[in-house]
Chains A and B, each alone.
Chain A
Amino acid sequence: MRDRKPVYAAVLGILLIVVFTLPAGISLWGKGVLRGIVSPLQRGISGVGQHVGEAVAAVRGLGGMVEKNRELSAELVHMQAELNTFKNLDEENRRLRRMLDFHRQEPRQMIPCEVMSRNISGWWNTVRIGKGARHGIQWNRAVISPDGLVGKTLEVSHRTSEVILISDPACRVSARILRVNAFGVVSGHGANASGHPVVRMDFINKDAEVRAGDEVVTSGLGGVFPTGIHIGYVQKVERDESGLYQSAQIIPRATAGLLDYVFVISEPEDNPTGGGAR
């Protein structure tokens, strides 16, 4: 039998050259196809995971009840299990109502999206949402939740979109500290040892009297993020090494670990022609 190793190596070489020189549009189309294959399964497993979580929560409550009241009848246990289920449903209902209220109150046009999964490799701080170009989502649009700014859309395929979170170093947001009206740039620094997102605000005017607890919002400069979206609170203020600026550690309020649903702002506020689809 002929040795086919050189053939395989040549095929791989050509594939690599093709892949590295692909135009962005074709690369994104290919990614969209692959994501289309995986996303129904991802969505299904996420749904099953949610149901399993609810069932475990119900059983936990049920276990405690049984330990305390061994003599109680099976009917009572059954009722307790049902009550736990209702509690979970009630909690979910309240959460969804909060989202709905937020959606109604918000003057901007927003597209509600379900968070499907996290990044596959751990190299990027991203989440995948279950809506894409066919639902009106465009590249480089702000993504928010009732708690505040989540990030922006990075890659939009037909049915899904990749959202880069504010904890990612590639996500930079022009921000403002409300109390002192000081501007700066917020950027992500990954996550700390306990998994909480680390966010910093740099290039703050050195004369501004920034204090821990000050609220940080988007400034609206740059055209991607609308004005006044809550980002988080100042945790610690540091002087820049050069002495020209101040930096601040920010605690972002929209904690990525708690996200179920997010909203994509469909049009940028100050720059209706900016951005563009990718």
Chain B
Amino acid sequence: MSRVAMFPLMVMGTVVQSLLPVWPLLGSVKPPVLPALVLFYSLKGSPRLMWAAAIWAALLQDGIDAGPIGPALIAFPIIGNLAYRVRNEVFPEQLVTQFIFGALGHMLVTLVFLLVFTATGARPLAFSFGALRMLGAFLSGMVTLPVVFFIMHRFEESLPQRRAVVWQ
């Protein structure tokens, strides 16, 4: 897994996420490309890579987004850590695992955002809107993570692999 490639991939993910349309029917959520990338590195990478991915993705999301810096900096390390802790108990390659992790991960991110925005008064939030958004987060997370996993797998496969040194 390439550490060097992670940073431009995150920037690319940021651009893709900002260009993707919102789902008005489901509380105007966006497909969570950056949280999905964090989950990918948590399920497949080393702890260092997981932390780097979580913090870099959070800085990008909070930096690009309007409003206060901070919600993603709380949410992304939480989902990254949780996924990393249970990854030995699950099969990350399985589609069902990706559905569940994507859905729960994005729901958790949305919940943290809701709490931070409510606490800081940055957004006037109604219960119905919050519930709709959580449902949207569940569905969009479920759809996005398998797609990101597939693309990232293909990308990692296309990179030149470092060979082990063998003494002859």
Contact = CB atoms under 8 A, between A and B. Distances in A.
Interface in A120-169: 120-124, 126, 128, 154-155, 162, 164, 169
Contacts of A117: 15, 18-19
B77 interface: yes
Contacts of A164: 66
Given A19-B73, A118-B22, A194-B24, A12 B67 contact: no
B51 A16 contact: no
A5 to B, nearest CB: 8
Interface residues of B, number: 39
Nearest to B72: A121
B124 interface: yes
B28 interface: yes
B144 interface: no
A8 B51 contact: yes
B25 interface: yes
B163 to A, nearest CB: 24
A277 interface: no
Contact of B66 (A5, A20, A162, A194): A162
B70 A16 contact: yes
A35 interface: yes
Interface residues of A, number: 44
B64 A122 contact: no
Interface in B25-73: 25, 27-30, 47, 51, 55, 59-70, 73
- The B interface, classified by DSSP as helix, strand, loop or mixed, is helix
B104 interface: no
A119 interface: yes
A22 interface: yes
- The A interface, classified by DSSP as helix, strand, loop or mixed, is mixed
B11 interface: yes
B77 A126 contact: no
B75 to A, nearest CB: 11
A42 to B, nearest CB: 5
Contacts of B122: 170
Nearest to A34: B63
A114 to B, nearest CB: 14
A17 B98 CA distance: 32
Interface in A20-34: 20, 22, 27, 30-31, 33-34
Contacts of A31: 63-64, 69
Interface of B: 11-12, 14-15, 17-19, 21-22, 24-25, 27-30, 47, 51, 55, 59-70, 73-74, 77, 113, 117, 122-124, 129
26 contacts: A8-B51, A12-B51, A12-B55, A19-B70, A20-B68, A20-B70, A34-B59, A34-B60, A34-B64, A38-B64, A41-B11, A46-B19, A49-B19, A117-B18, A118-B18, A118-B22, A120-B17, A121-B61, A122-B28, A123-B65, A123-B113, A124-B67, A126-B66, A191-B24, A192-B24, A194-B24
